[in-house]
Structure 1
Amino acid sequence: MAVSGNTSSADGGVSLTSKTPILGQKLYVIIAVTVIIVTVGLLLIFFLIRRNLNSKRRRTMRVKHSSGLLPLVSETINDESMERASKVSLFEKDVDEKEEIKPIVEVVVTNSGSNESGTNRSDGASSSMSAENLSNLGWGRWYGLNELEIATSNFAVENVIGEGGYGIVYRGVLRDGAVVAVKNLLNNKGQAEKEFKVEVEAIGKVRHKNLVGLIGFCADGAKRLLVYEYVDNGNLEQWLHGDVGPISPLTWDIRMRIAIGTAKGLAYLHEGLEPKVIHRDVKSSNILLDRKWNAKVSDFGLAKLLGPEKSHVTTRVMGTFGYVSPDYASTGMLNECSDVYSFGVLLMEIITGRSPVDYSRAPGEMNLVDWFKGMVASRRGEELLDPKINVQPPSRYLKRVLLVCLRCIDMDANKRPKMGQIVHMLEADDFPFRTESRPPRDTAAFRAGEDAASKAPSMD
Structure 2
Amino acid sequence: MISEAKRLLVIGNASKAARRSAIKALLWSCSFQPGDKLMLLGVLRKVNNRSGYRSKMDLSSIFGANQKTVQDELAVKKKEYINDGEINSLSQKCKISGIEFHIEVQQAGDSPREVAVRAARDFGATWVILDKHMKKDKVYLMEQLPCRISVVKHNNAIKDLQQMRVTVDPDVKRISRDAACGSHGNEEFQNPVCSVCRNRRPKIGWKRNFTFEELQAATEGFSAKNFIAQSTFGFLYRGELNGLKIVVKQMKSTSFQQEEFTSSFSALSGARHENLAVLLGICSEGNHRILVYEYICNRSLEFHLSEYLLGRSLIRPLNWDQRMKIAFGAAKGLKYLHENDIVHGKFRPSNILLTHDHEARVGNFGLSTVEHGASFFSSGATFGKLVYYAPEYAELGKASTKTDCFAFGVMLLQLITGLGTADPILRGKNLVRWARPLLKDRNYPGLLDQRIGDSYDIHQLFWIIRVAEKCLKKNPHSRISMEKHECRWSPHWAT
Q: In the alignment, which residue of structure 2 is the partner of 1:252? A: 320
State whether structure 2 residue 468 is matched by structure 1 residue 405: yes
Deviations 1:184-233 (A, max 9, x none): 1123x627979955861452111111111111211222111111111111
Q: How far did residue 145 of structure 1 move? A: 1.2
State whether structure 2 residue 276 is matched by structure 1 residue 211: yes
Structure 1, gaps ≥5 residues long: 1-56, 58-74, 89-137, 306-314, 431-460
Asked if the contact 1:251/1:391 (under 8 Å) is kept, the reply is no
State whether structure 2 residue 409 is matched by structure 1 residue 344: yes
Aligned partner (choices 224, 239, 258) of residue 157 of structure 1: 224
C-alpha distance in 1 between matches for 2:208 and 2:471: 38
Aligned partner (choices 255, 260, 269) of residue 337 of structure 2: 269
AA aligned opposite 2:136: R
* Aligned positions of 1:19-98 closer than 5 A: 79-80=129-130, 83-85=135-137
Q: In the alignment, which residue of structure 2 is the partner of 1:106? A: none
Q: In the alignment, which residue of structure 2 is the partner of 1:385? A: 448
Aligned partner (choices 201, 219, 237) of residue 170 of structure 1: 237
AA aligned opposite 1:144: T
AA aligned opposite 1:179: K
C-alpha distance in 1 between matches for 2:426 and 2:492: 36
Which of 1 and 2 has greater Rg? Answer: 1
AA aligned opposite 2:306: H
AA aligned opposite 1:84: K
Q: In the alignment, which residue of structure 2 is the partner of 1:295? A: 360
Q: In the alignment, which residue of structure 2 is the partner of 1:183? A: 249
SS at match of 2:446: helix
Structure 2, gaps ≥5 residues long: 1-113, 115-124, 141-204
SS at match of 1:263: helix
AA aligned opposite 2:321: D
Asked if the contact 2:262/2:284 (under 8 Å) is kept, the reply is no
AA aligned opposite 1:151: A
Structure 1 residues 376, 181: closer, same or farther in 2, change over 3 A? same
TM (normalized to structure 1)? 0.57
Structure ranking higher on relative contact order (CA contacts 8 Å, 6+ apart)? 1
Q: How far did residue 277 of structure 1 move? A: 0.8
SS at match of 1:171: strand
Q: In the alignment, which residue of structure 1 is the partner of 2:67? A: none
Q: How far did residue 153 of structure 1 move? A: 1.0
Q: How far did residue 76 of structure 1 move? A: 11
Asked if the contact 2:352/2:360 (under 8 Å) is kept, the reply is yes
Q: In the alignment, which residue of structure 1 is the partner of 2:28? A: none
C-alpha distance in 1 between matches for 2:284 and 2:127: 19
AA aligned opposite 1:299: N
- For this pair of structures, how many residues does the alignment match? 293
C-alpha distance in 2 between matches for 1:329 and 1:179: 37
C-alpha distance in 1 between matches for 2:324 and 2:411: 12
Structure 1 residues 362, 285: closer, same or farther in 2, change over 3 A? closer
* Aligned positions of 1:306-385 closer than 5 A: 316-317=375-376, 320-358=385-423, 360-363=424-427, 366-385=429-448
Aligned partner (choices 169, 193, 213) of residue 146 of structure 1: 213
TM (normalized to structure 2)? 0.53
SS at match of 1:354: coil
SS at match of 1:141: coil
C-alpha distance in 2 between matches for 1:266 and 1:378: 29
SS at match of 1:217: strand
C-alpha distance in 2 between matches for 1:422 and 1:184: 36
Structure 1 residues 405, 197: closer, same or farther in 2, change over 3 A? farther
AA aligned opposite 1:380: N
AA aligned opposite 2:294: E
| Identity of matched residues, % | 34
Q: How far did residue 389 of structure 1 move? A: 2.3
